[in-house]
Structure 1
Amino acid sequence: MSGTNSSLTTYSVISDFKEITKMRLAISVVFSSLAGYLLGVDIVDFKTLVLLAFGGYFMVGASNAFNQIIEKDLDALMDRTKNRPIPAGRMSVNTAFIIASVFTLLGVIILYTINKQTAMFGAISIFIYTCVYTPLKTKTPLSVFVGAIPGAIPFMLGWVAATDNFGIEPGTLFALQFFWQFPHFWAIGWFLFEDYKKGGFFMLPTGKQDKGTAVQIIMYTIWTLIVSIIPVFGFTGTLQLSIIAAILVFILGLGMLYYAIKLFKKMTVQAAKQLMLASVSYITLVQIVYVIDKFIR
């Protein structure tokens, strides 16, 4: 019996660790970073690739842990978050703070071994997410704009890790992921509207599930679509896209736009969920198309 309790405790500790660092989100962010690296590099250095993966994971994990410490009382009010380790009482604030601090140090040190600029952007990402975005979430819908900055850094970070240079190429990657986050997060804000309201979070641009929010979702989806095909025109330096790849990326964008328009027409929670899933598929597939296109061109 004690063996069963021990294994349950071990499972609980591991699942709580995954929850406090938001492992699934962290892995998706690492994926973006690695895609950016592969786009920027001439010869793939697997050591740098591994360092970037671990450094990126630690940075995201630290941001999420700090976020859950700050929002512990609000998390307890929402169905979506009340079972997180801190509000549920399974993890102390001190333990979470130690995890967040250790992850910050490890993340900065590992990214610094790649190059200074990569570490700098990683540190900026943690600072904005923790110290600016998180406190603003209960104050103004503009928090989504602020949160889109650290959220857009990973794709760009990979290029900087590969080249130790910030220019038009990583700037374009940043812009793509920046604009994409608005339809993505507003879709989440839409279908979790009632739950967010319990915690006092203002996520939608108009503060309501209305046509104004739906129109803005469509507009930012169009901006995302436009930015995604800019490299085909040849003025984004060494970041290039073949015509076939640009057509594929454009079709993927039309797919996301279809669900954005569907939300405008139906105004339902179900339509918002579909848009959220479409947006996740979109950004993943676009990054894959970009990388494959680079290596077969």
Structure 2
Amino acid sequence: MATRETPREHVTGTNTYPIGIVIPTYNRVDILQTCLERLEAQTFKNFEVIVVDDGSTDSTPHVMNEYRTRAPFAFQYLRQSNSGPARARNQAIKNLDSTTCLLLGDDILASPNLVFQHYEHHRLHCEMEAVAVGLTRWSEQGQIVTPFMRWLDRDGAQFAYGDLLGGLPPTWEHFYTSNLSLKTDQLRLHPFDERFRKAAMEDIELGYRLSMNNRLTMSFLRDAVAEHFHPTTFRQACRRMVGLGASAYLLGKIWPEHRPKPVSTSRLRFRTFLQQSWLLARLTDAADLWTQIRVPNPLMQRVLSLHSTLGYREAAQRDGS
């Protein structure tokens, strides 16, 4: 199923740079500075950077305005009211003066050759449909990578790089904007859906939309390596799963084929019973303790699923469905 594209403002630059880097940020000024320092150390230098501040309440505005006076590359700092990374990226893309857009996260630390790997791929693949996803792995510096964090990546609960490293061809399901590049004009013609106000599934929705319109040819760049600095506990993952559930509801509303399959009435009632705040809190406590001993474990996976379906159900209720 394909949806009609809503016409958007299309700003055509002179394409001064072969590649431009877009980084949305929100209240992560310390790691954002490290992210920019890693870009300063790139072997390939001919690029621009746009940071879009999604309404940060920390010192991001002060630090970025100061950085703008000394940045060693073309640098823009934009700011918007808190509206989510989808809108932030769209604002940056309108201001790019580059043929290719590289999308990074503010907690992504690029290896010295990352920008060159993306640049070279698009130099060799000039077609509009070309998309490249790089390899993102946990940073081993400054954070303790727990067994739970390794499980998030290894088993695809957060990413599925293990499958890509194993030779699986990438698809729209691997449209990870933590380390992803595509043509700037493609993003102007097909922007992120700004109804997604959280950093959850706004990228996957765009990847799916492009694939449905035959506008997506994915490649995996295993040498475009980035380190992800984002210490994550089980409880933090539970909170994220609520947001993912809400985004999953929106995805199913836009693309009905992605709605979850109906479950039996008795199963639905049991799941709703488990999602009562007092009971879910106790289940989460128990799963958190068990996860500190053994990963994975059945309760951990079940509780994460409950938080996801809770977010889905709450989003449906807010929408009146």
- TM-score, normalised by the number of residues in structure 1: 0.30
Name the structure with the higher strand share.
2
- TM-score, normalised by the number of residues in structure 2: 0.28
Name the structure with the higher helix share.
1
